Structure 1
Amino acid sequence: MRHDGFTVELHSAAPPDAVFGAFADPAVRRRWFRMPGREVSYDHDFTVNGGENASSVFTVEGAAPERLAYASRYLDIVSGSRIVYTYTARVDGEVRWASLVTVELRPDADGTHLRWTEQAAFLTPSSRPEHDLPHLRGATRLRLNGLAAALRPDGDR
Structure 2
Amino acid sequence: MTEVGERAPGGVLHDTFTVGLRLSASAGEVFRAFADPDVRRRWFKLPGSTMSDEHAFRVGGGASARSAFPNRHAPQERLKYESRYLDIAPDRRIVYVYEAHVDDVLRWTSLVTVELHPQADGTELSWTEQVAFVTPTGDGNDDLRHLRGGTRLRLNGLAAALKPTPTTSR
- When normalised by structure 1's length, the TM-score is 0.96
Q: Which residue of the partner structure matches residue 42 of structure 1?
A: 53
Q: Deviations along 1:16-74, whole A, 9 cap, x unmatched?
A: 00000000000000000000002242100000000000010101112100000000000
Question: Which 5+ residue runs of structure 2 have no aligned equivalent?
Answer: 1-11
Greater RCO between the two (CA within 8 Å, min separation 6)? 1
Moved over 3 A (4+): none
Question: Which 5+ residue runs of structure 1 have no aligned equivalent?
Answer: none
How far off its partner does 1:13 sit? 0.5
How far off its partner does 1:127 sit? 4.1
Number of residues of Structure 1 aligned to a counterpart in Structure 2: 155
Q: Which residue of the partner structure matches residue 19 of structure 1?
A: 30
Separation (CA, whole Å) in 2 of partners of 1:98 and 1:61 = 27
Q: Which residue of the partner structure matches residue 68 of structure 1?
A: 79
Aligned partners of 2:13 and 2:140 also within 8 Å: no
Q: 1:136 to 1:151 in 2, by over 3 A?
A: same
SS for the counterpart of 1:103 is strand
Bigger fraction of residues in strand: 1
* Bigger Rg, structure 1 or 2: 2
Which deviates more, 68-77 or 126-135?
Answer: 126-135
Q: Percentage identity across aligned positions? A: 59
Aligned partners of 2:114 and 2:126 also within 8 Å: yes
* Alpha-carbon RMSD: 1.1
Match runs of 1:128-143 below 5 Å: 129-143=140-154
Separation (CA, whole Å) in 1 of partners of 2:162 and 2:93 = 18
Separation (CA, whole Å) in 1 of partners of 2:134 and 2:35 = 29
How far off its partner does 1:149 sit? 0.3
